[in-house]
Amino acid sequence: MTAVERFRELLRLPTVSRVDPADTDDEAFARFHAALERLYPLAHERLEREVVAGRSLLYRWPGASADAPLLLLAHQDVVPVDGQEWRHPPFAAEIEGEGPDAVIHARGAIDDKGALVAILEAVEQALADGATPRTDVWLAFGHDEETRGTGAQAMAALLAERGVRPALVLDEGGAVVEGAVPGVAAPTAMIGVAERGVATFDLITREAGGHASTPPRLPATARLARAIDRLRRRPFPRRLAPPVRAMLATAATHTGEPLATLFRRTAVSAPLVTAALSARGPETNALVRTTAVVTRLEGSAGENVLATTARASVNVRLLTGDTLADVSVHLRRAVADPLVDIELRHGSEPSPVSPWRGAAWLRLSRAVTATLGDEVVPLPYLQLGASDSRFYTGLTDAVYRFAPFHLTRAERDALHAPDERIRVDVWLRGIRFYRALIEA
């Protein structure tokens, strides 16, 4: 059986995590674990394995030394496909095309079984070749990254209790892309040195209720709608956070004038640069400001009944340097209505910023150029989404977010959406990256 065939077999197992754990198919995860043992016999024979928090998997590959280990993260779970229309069945792992144009279509192909399986392939190959890592290698595969991250939290706590202090932690995140930074023609490996915080705030309006045939002048739903529109029209201010300044400063050596000067001298050019990035599109806009968007609305349970309580859930992603307290103040000022209650349901602050210089960064950069192409430029950047990596920042300051796959804009847009897919040759190169990182 080839590496691609093993990958496809694991993609066919619908390890979907649900917000309510009771709705999660435990049997799918049990089959996934059994398949891992069968498909990667050397890894399961020679690595120590623990099941943590019910479904998460923690492996230790003893090296010549236990000091300064490498910790590789990935997650087993995938997001649901409910209500989506796919060109290929989402859990069939069908291959379209042949040779270098072959593409695997499946939920989880990129997020995040692509990385998980590539890591195991690299470990299995190294074991077959008789390799022994210079330091311990830990693998931590969470089971609910897409919902609550309890598996990652439990594994991070266990490692902290045991005194494990990794030299480098690598999780999913950026990828090799093109056109991410204006003026940079070369493909860039976007390595997340930090990630934004994430929170949910509720906007709540209340009224006495009654029959819909006799509505008040400003019902709870209308007051809520006004608050939502005010929030939309008053976005958070633009600014350059340290990870974005680092990205631009690094990119400056790979672009021409006048952009090179603008990127190097951000102390002066920040207003111009942030305005340009904000106008360029949603992705670059999210690099320069905290974002807030309403994702859920709740009102009356009946069509002819006034809502006694109307609620909007606001998903907030906090830019490095902002806090949950700052967000609460901004929301109250934007809504500007004392009759709208604003409550924090849950949230986490932005992660610490990892160094983009030094031994850990150099190790990552060398693995990128050695296996993904010497023309690829490693760039530090601010990861826009949340990952399990935020739970491991207490173990080391060298926590990075990067998956070694060269992705097009369309492929990135398919994450959490219909037609998630990865090119076969791109995935195979990812295996070489993890092997190089392990053996560095």
What pLDDT shows up at residue 245? 96
- Going by pLDDT thresholds of 50, 70 and 90, the confidence category of residue 1 is confident
Dump pLDDT digits (tens) for 328-341: 999 999 999 999 99
Q: Is the pLDDT of residue 14 over 90?
A: yes
Other residues' Cβ atoms within 10 Å of the Cβ of residue 269: 18
Q: Is the pLDDT of residue 100 over 80?
A: no
- Alpha carbons 65 and 205: distance in angstroms, whole number: 59
- Going by pLDDT thresholds of 50, 70 and 90, the confidence category of residue 101 is confident
What pLDDT shows up at residue 22? 85
Structure pTM? 0.93
Other residues' Cβ atoms within 10 Å of the Cβ of residue 60: 20
What average pLDDT does the segment 400-425 reach? 96
What pLDDT shows up at residue 23? 85
Q: Residue 5 in 3-state DSSP?
A: helix
What average pLDDT does the segment 163-167 reach? 98
What average pLDDT does the segment 76-101 reach? 93
Give, in order, the Cα–Cα distances in Å from 400 to each of 19, 84, 116, 193, 228: 26, 32, 16, 5, 35
What average pLDDT does the segment 286-311 reach? 95
| DSSP labels, 314-362 | EEEEEPTT--HHHHHHHHHHHH--TTSEEEEEEEEPPPPPPPSSSHHHH
CA atoms within 13 A on the CB side of 410: 4
What average pLDDT does the segment 285-310 reach? 95
What pLDDT shows up at residue 48? 98
Average pLDDT, the chain: 96
Helix extents (H) in 135-294 = 150-161, 220-233, 242-251, 259-264, 266-280, 282-285
- Alpha carbons 130 and 77: distance in angstroms, whole number: 31
Percent with pLDDT over 70 in the chain: 100
Residue 41 region, left (φ>0) first, then alpha (ψ -120 to 50), else beta?
alpha
Q: Which of 65-69, 90-94, 139-143, 178-182 has the lowest mean pLDDT?
A: 178-182
What pLDDT shows up at residue 99? 80
The four Cα atoms 380, 385, 388, 389 give a dihedral, to 10 degrees, of 20
What average pLDDT does the segment 314-336 reach? 97
- Alpha carbons 287 and 356: distance in angstroms, whole number: 17
* Distance from chain centroid for Cα 301: 35
Other residues' Cβ atoms within 10 Å of the Cβ of residue 359: 13
What pLDDT shows up at residue 440? 85
What pLDDT shows up at residue 352? 96
First-to-final CA distance of the chain: 28
Dump pLDDT digits (tens) for 57-83: 999 999 999 999 999 999 999 999 999
What average pLDDT does the segment 29-37 reach? 98
